[in-house]
Every structure is written in C-alpha cells, then in structure tokens.
Amino acid sequence: MNINATLFGEAVWFGVFIWITMKYVWPPLQKAIADRQALIADGLAAGERGRHELELASKRSADSLREAKVKSAEIVVAAEKRALQVIEEAKLAAKVEADKVVASAQAEIAQQVEQARAELRGKVADLAVAGAERILKREVDAKGHAEMLAALQQEL
C-alpha cells in the first residue's frame, strides 16, 4: 500500500468524469425524463377528459332520444285529433251539401209541379171550352163566348 502521485492522476480523472456527467450526461437525461413525465401526465389527463366527455355525450344523447320519443308521441296524438276533426268537418260539409241538393231538388220539383198545374189549368180551360163549344156549337156565337171565357180564364 504505497501512496504516490497516482493519487493526483486519479483525482484528475475523477474530476473529468464528474464534469462530463454534470455537463453532458445528467442535464439532457433529466430534461428528457421530465419531458416524458409531463407528456404522460398530459396523455392521462386527456384520456380522463375524453372519457368524461364521452359520458356527457351519451347522457345528452339519451336525453335527446327521450325528448324525441315524447315529442313524437305528442305529434301522433295531435295527428289523430286532427284526423278526427277533419272527418267531422267533412261529415258536416257533406250534410250541408246534401241538404242544399235536396232543397234545390225540392224547389225544382215544386216549380215543375206549379208549371204542370198551370199547363193543366190551361188545358182544362181549353177542354172545357172545347166541350162547351161542342155543346153550344149550334146555338151560341163562338166569338162572343170566347171573349167571356178568356176573361174567366184570367180570373182562375
């Protein structure tokens, strides 16, 4: 065990290696490790956030689905109601129309009856005149009686 100048040589080596480690080994590695840790932490946080958002979105979609169901049920009910109403209205309109048709038909019938009656009246008068003419042909002046009969006809 002899101590000699090798001591100084080894101290120099030691110093050189400490310097290399301190300047070129430790800082870049420390930075790389710290950066990676930050990266991993960010990734985990992003994953957590994504999961949370997914949860919210599924909740939202379930909500809107439920809402849509309710709304569609409402629409169906309204449509049924409207259909009933339309049917009612149509029934009413048809009835009105039918009444109108019936009324006009009755009016026409009445008119025709009136016309036929008037015709008949004329014909009865003619017939009566013809009958009377035949009866009275022999003795009565046709002209004088015709005037009287026309006046009679007007009175009817």
Partner 1 sequence: MASGEALTTSAYIVHHLTNNTVGEGFWTLHLDTLFVSGIIGLVAFLGMAKVAKQASSGVPGPLQSFIEILVSFVDQQVKDTYHGRSPLVTPLAITIFVWVFLMNAMDLIPVDFLPLILGVFGIHYLKVVPTTDPNLTFAMSLSVFTIMIVMGIKVKGAGGFFHEVVAVPFGIKLAPVNILFRVIEDIAKPISLSLRLFGNMYAGEMVFILIALLGVWQLPLALPWALFHILIITLQAFVFMMLTIVYLSMASESHG
- For binding to partner 1 (CB under 8 A), which residues are involved? 1-11, 13-18, 20-22, 24-33, 35-36, 39
Question: What one-character DSSP code corresponds to residue 57?
Answer: H
Q: Minimum CB separation from partner 1 for residue 40, in Å?
A: 10
Task: Using the minimum distance from each CB to partner 1, give the nearer residue, 15 or 131.
Answer: 15
Q: Minimum CB separation from partner 1 for residue 52, in Å?
A: 26
Q: Minimum CB separation from partner 1 for residue 3, in Å?
A: 6
Alpha carbons 150 and 129: distance in angstroms, whole number: 10
Is the sign of the CA dihedral 96, 98, 104, 110 positive or negative?
negative
Cβ proximity of 149 and 125 under 8 Å: yes
Task: Using the minimum distance from each CB to partner 1, give the nearer residue, 31 or 60.
Answer: 31
Count other Cβ atoms within 10 Å, centred on residue 125.
15
Task: Using the minimum distance from each CB to partner 1, give the nearer residue, 2 or 154.
Answer: 2
Q: Minimum CB separation from partner 1 for residue 50, in Å?
A: 21
As given in the structure block, the two tokens for residue 5 are 């100048």
Task: Using the minimum distance from each CB to partner 1, give the nearer residue, 23 or 100.
Answer: 23
Task: Using the minimum distance from each CB to partner 1, give the nearer residue, 47 or 122.
Answer: 47
Alpha carbons 29 and 27: distance in angstroms, whole number: 5
User: What are the percentages of helix, strand and coil residues in the chain, rounded to 5?
Assistant: 95, 0, 5
Q: Minimum CB separation from partner 1 for residue 16, in Å?
A: 7
User: How far from each other are the two terminal CA atoms of the chain, in whole angstroms?
Assistant: 173
